Structure 1
Amino acid sequence: MMSFASAGRLLFSPKHVIIINSLVTRATLTVHCRNKGEDKGMISLAHRASFDFRFRVNLRKTTVYTCSFAWPGNTATFDIFRADRDDNPKSKVGVCSECIWVIYETAPCRYRRNGGEPNCFPWAS
């Protein structure tokens, strides 16, 4: 049985990104995620709705998925998955195989299924 700690060291480690709309204003959130080779399209999320996708980290561990987020009066961008941050045992937030992101107006926050304090990050733009 593989432990979660070793999951980040596997070649092409499988990832599951989950994005949850938790805007305090309860507005609809429009999400558009893509990487160099794949576009997930525009997704419209009602309050508390979620969108998810799965992929495997590339051999060089350079996989990045960037998402743009829009809600009334605002747009923001954030790297929802970065191999150097989310698939690196040495990063301050550690490895996630299930990367749960809760989106607030103030910040995108990565949660762990088993609880604990979330890791919130500044918007890139």
Structure 2
Amino acid sequence: MKISIRLLLTLSVAIVLFVVFMSMLRPAEPLNGGSEYEVRVVNGFTNNSSLPLVIWCASKDSELGGRALQEHDDFSWRLKTNIWGTTHFWCTMKWDQMRKSFDAFKASRDAYRCGTARKCSWLVKEDGFYFSNDEVNWQKDFPWY
């Protein structure tokens, strides 16, 4: 069976285009998972010096514990995603009578939105929770209630 050079060239170009297209759909990650991220939660309240923002964070595999954050204090940690893409950390926040639990990191949601620097930052303010991947541009994700 004789294959023409034109057919081989066409197939080669198609394969290269397919590989380039697929690489643009998802950032490259090791086959064994293991992408590292930094998660940071910042107290963005303007005046809570007498009443701290209390935070407690965990995953199904580890408990990060709790902290009492004064104005501009932060709580941060590094994590490594698992091979299944199911890494999930949640936090419970409490300030005065308000209490809110939220997903601080969820691989299925944050693998893309945390950006190429893989930084996932939260700013907790009186009116809600703000997300940023550069700590310059903040977007309100949800309110306390």
Map 1:99-110 → 2, pairs under 5 A: 99-110=120-131
TM-score (norm 2): 0.70
Cα deviation, residue 9, structure 1: 3.5
Cα deviation, residue 12, structure 1: 1.1
Q: Counterpart amino acid of 2:141?
A: F
Out of 9, 30, 40, the position equivalent to 1:18 is 40
Question: What corresponds to 1:40 in structure 2?
Answer: 64
Any gaps of 5 or more consecutive residues in structure 2?
A: 1-23
Map 1:1-125 → 2, pairs under 5 A: 9-10=28-29, 11-26=33-48, 27-87=51-111, 89=112, 94-96=113-115, 97-113=118-134, 115-116=136-137, 118-122=138-142
Any gaps of 5 or more consecutive residues in structure 1?
A: none
Using a 3 Å threshold, how does the CA distance of structure 1 residues 7 and 54 change in structure 2: closer, same or farther?
Answer: farther
Cα deviation, residue 7, structure 1: 9.3
Distance 1:60 1:123 in 2: 30
Cα deviation, residue 73, structure 1: 1.4
Identity of aligned residues (%): 21
Max radius of gyration: which structure? 2
Q: Counterpart amino acid of 1:58?
A: N
Task: Considering fraction of residues, name the structure with more helix.
Answer: 2
RMSD: 2.4
Using a 3 Å threshold, how does the CA distance of structure 1 residues 50 and 59 change in structure 2: closer, same or farther?
Answer: same
> Which has the higher relative contact order, 1 or 2, with Cα contacts under 8 A spaced 6 or more apart?
1
Q: How many residues align?
A: 115
Using a 3 Å threshold, how does the CA distance of structure 1 residues 29 and 6 change in structure 2: closer, same or farther?
Answer: farther
Which moved further from structure 2: 42-51 or 102-111?
102-111
Contact 2:114 2:132 in 1 (8 A): no
